Structure formats: C-alpha cells, structure tokens
C-alpha cells in the first residue's frame, strides 16, 4: 500500500531530522508528502474530480468573482501557465504540506517532532486530498501563527487576509490575535483597537459564509457520529492532562529536547480546546466541524509536548497511540471509502 509506505518513510525521515537537527530530511519529508498528494490521479481523493473540473472551467471562463476570489485568481494564473489542472493541484499540495511540516518543526524543542508528524500523516494529511482549498487556507493560518508568537501582528493580519480570500471561513481566525501567546499579555490599546477590527471581519466573514453556504452543503449533509465521539474522547483526555499536569501555571510541565524543564505555552491547549469544541458542536451544526479545523491543528504540538511530560508521560503516550491507531485502523477497514488512499493512482501513469 503506497499510502502506508509513504507515511512510514516520512516518519523515518522525521526521526532523522529531529535526532540530527537537520533540515535535509525535513525537506524531503515535506516533499514526499507533497508529491504523493499532488501527483494523484482522478480516482484518488473524493473531491479530486471536482477540482479538475473547476480548474478546466476557470481556464475558459476567467476569474470567478466572489468571497473566494483569491483561490480563483491564483488558479487562473496557474492554469494560464500550465494549461493542465494536474500541476496547479501539485503546487497547492506543496504549499500546504511545506507550510504545515515546517510549522511543526518550530515546535521541536518542546514537542516530539516524529509524533507530531505521525498525527499529521494519519489524521490530517488525508484531508489534503479532498478539501484542497480549505486546507490551503488552514496551512497558511497555522504557519502564520508564528508571527503572533513573534509579535509581528501586521504579518499575521496579512497572512490571515490572504487565507480568507482563499476560504472565507479563515476570517474566524482573526480571534487568535487575542489569545495570550507565550504567556504574555498584548498591549491594551492594541487589544481594544484590534478586537473591534477583528469583530468586524468575523461578522463580515459569517455573513459571506452564510451567503455562500450552498457551495459547501455537500460536505455537511452527513453527520459523522464516530468522528464526534472521538472529539468527546479527546476533550476528556485534554481535560485530564490540563488538570493533572496543572498546565496553567506549571513552569515544569515537560522536559524539552535538551533536557530542561519547560511549561506548555498557554495558547496551545486553548486553541486545541477551541477546535475540539467546534468539532463537537457539529452534532448540532455540521458546518462547525470544518471551521474547527483551523484550531484543531494545535492537536499536534499539544500531544507532542504531552508525551514529554515530567509526570504520567507513559499514560499520555498510550492515549495518543490509541487515538492514532483507531483512526488508522478505521481507514484500513473502510477500504475504498477511506478517500481511496489505499487504491492510489497517479496521473503520471495516465500520460
């Protein structure tokens, strides 16, 4: 099975990258994920055919003006160069995977990089074959959160605006500006002015999203009970770790890669909790699951650091491996329904 082989090789590369603090295996792990996703044929991925049709249509009709004009404009330019829908999808796959993998690399001091990569390739990577446009936006937001940590707020706002032009739901992520990154409070004036600005953008985003909800209805009509129950299971474990590990206020929660005791930054469990909460709300409002993706990406650094906890690390390791194992076994047992990843084919074989 090519998917399992690709994932295994990526995990081996991530082990080398962390052990040797070397970006060469890091680069090849991101490249391998990008090529495996970007070179897929029509039969791999639920929405691949839809994106092929969209690319072909936009080449003839021009830019489609609307809430997602950024994606239309980029796709139009790429199709003008390549005149083949395969290559824009390859470029999108490279942007998405490189941004996510390199952002995870930023957490390597406090979190286990191989474990973060394991969670990514098993739980989230398959989505890059389907919800291409939203995961492109998600990767931009996830990568750009480093600007908030660095207090480069203007850069984050620009990145968030770009992501919002690709997928309107990204406007919700302006709220990340008001979380206590690095346990430091933002300037009061900045908070007041920024909060008003962000609220306007979020309200506008909700209005645009509501006006364009018909475009996403196909993704929301089915309620995934198993996925929702898994979210509840994760919430329970998040609560256990936060309470038992005294995450808020514990300056010696875990042991870093270099053997020093460090805290878990407060924004990590907060963003993860927000994502899980939105995912759980999908029981009542199905579209909430898609919005929750932006925040639930912090599942990777959260568990990556939890398994390095000074106390109960073995228990946390068992919990996350149960979660990842359940997802992997579910995909294997579902066969062709698992986004056809286990029946992978490349468009190169069709040339």
pLDDT in tens, 97-122: 999 999 999 999 999 999 999 999 99
Query: Average of pLDDT values for 166-179?
Result: 88
Q: What distance in Å separates the CA atoms of residue 131 and residue 220, rounded to the nearest whole number?
A: 12
Task: Report the SS3 class of residue 309.
Answer: strand
Average pLDDT over residues 307-311: 94
Higher pLDDT, 84 or 318: 318
pLDDT (0 to 100) of residue 198: 57
Cα(39)–Cα(275) distance, rounded to whole angstroms?
A: 30
pLDDT band at 222 (very low <50, low <70, confident <90, very high): very low
Q: Which of 1, 75, 18, 11 is nearest to 257 (CA)?
A: 18
Burial degree of 64 (CB within 10 A; 0-12, 13-18, 19+):
middle
Residue 208 confidence (pLDDT) above 70: no
Least confident stretch, 77-91, 177-191, 234-248: 177-191
For the beta carbon of residue 49, count every other beta carbon within 10 angstroms: 11
Give the whole-angstrom CA distance, residue 97 versus residue 14. 14
The percent of residues in the chain predicted with pLDDT above 70, rounded, is 79
- The number of distinct structural domains making up the chain is 1
Task: Give me the pLDDT at residue 162, please.
Answer: 94
What CA–CA distance (Å, rounded) separates 24 from 6?
A: 17
Q: Decide if 33 contacts 124 (C-beta within 8 A).
A: no
Quote the pTM value.
Answer: 0.88
CB 53, CB 79: distance < 8 Å:
no
The whole-number pLDDT of residue 217 equals 47
Q: How many CB atoms neighbour CB 53 within 10 A?
A: 12
DSSP characters over 241-298: HHHHTTTTT-TTSEE-TTS-EEPPPTHHHHHHHHHHHHHHHTTT-TTHHHHHHHHHTT
Q: What is the mean pLDDT of residues 249-263?
A: 92
The most confident of 259-263, 279-283, 288-292, by mean pLDDT: 259-263
Structure tokens at 262: 């460090």
Of 4-18, 60-74, 315-329, which range is least confident?
Answer: 60-74
Q: Is pLDDT of 187 > 60? A: no
Average pLDDT, the chain: 83
pLDDT at 340 over 80: no
Angstrom CA distances, 258 to 19, 111, 113, 251, stand at 11, 11, 14, 16
Domain carrying residue 125? 2-350
């Amino acid at each position: 099975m090519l998917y399992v082989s690709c994932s295994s090789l990526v995990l081996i590369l991530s082990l080398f990258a962390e052990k040797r603090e070397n970006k060469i295996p890091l680069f090849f792990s991101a490249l391998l994920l990008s090529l495996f996703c970007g070179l897929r044929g029509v039969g791999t991925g639920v929405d691949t055919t839809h994106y092929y049709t969209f690319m072909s249509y936009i080449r003839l009709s021009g830019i489609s003006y609307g809430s997602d004009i950024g994606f239309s404009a980029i796709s139009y330019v790429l199709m003008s160069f390549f005149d083949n829908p395969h290559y824009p999808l390859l470029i999108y796959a490279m942007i998405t995977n490189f941004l996510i993998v390199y952002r995870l690399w930023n957490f390597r001091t406090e979190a286990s990089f191989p474990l973060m990569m394991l969670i990514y390739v098993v739980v989230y990577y398959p989505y890059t074959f389907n919800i291409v446009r939203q995961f492109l936006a998600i990767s931009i937001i996830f990568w750009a959160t480093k600007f908030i940590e660095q207090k480069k707020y203007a850069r984050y706002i620009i990145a968030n605006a770009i992501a919002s032009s690709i997928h309107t739901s990204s406007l919700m992520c302006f709220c990340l500006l008001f979380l206590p990154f690095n346990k430091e409070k933002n300037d009061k004036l900045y908070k007041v002015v920024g909060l008003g600005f962000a609220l306007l953008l979020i309200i506008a985003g909700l209005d645009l999203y509501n006006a364009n909800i018909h475009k996403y209805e196909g993704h929301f009509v089915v309620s995934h009970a198993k996925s929702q129950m898994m979210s509840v299971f994760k919430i329970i474990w998040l609560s256990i770790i936060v309470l038992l590990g005294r995450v808020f206020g514990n300056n010696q929660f875990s042991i870093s890669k270099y053997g020093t005791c460090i805290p878990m930054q407060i924004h990590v469990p907060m963003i993860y909790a927000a994502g899980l909460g939105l995912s759980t709300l999908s029981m009542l409002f199905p579209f909430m699951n898609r919005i929750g993706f932006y925040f639930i990406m912090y599942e990777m650094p959260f568990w990556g650091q939890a398994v390095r906890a000074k106390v109960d690390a073995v228990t946390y390791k068992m919990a996350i491996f149960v979660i990842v194992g359940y997802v992997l076994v579910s995909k294997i047992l579902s066969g062709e329904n698992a986004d056809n990843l286990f029946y992978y084919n490349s468009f190169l074989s069709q040339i």
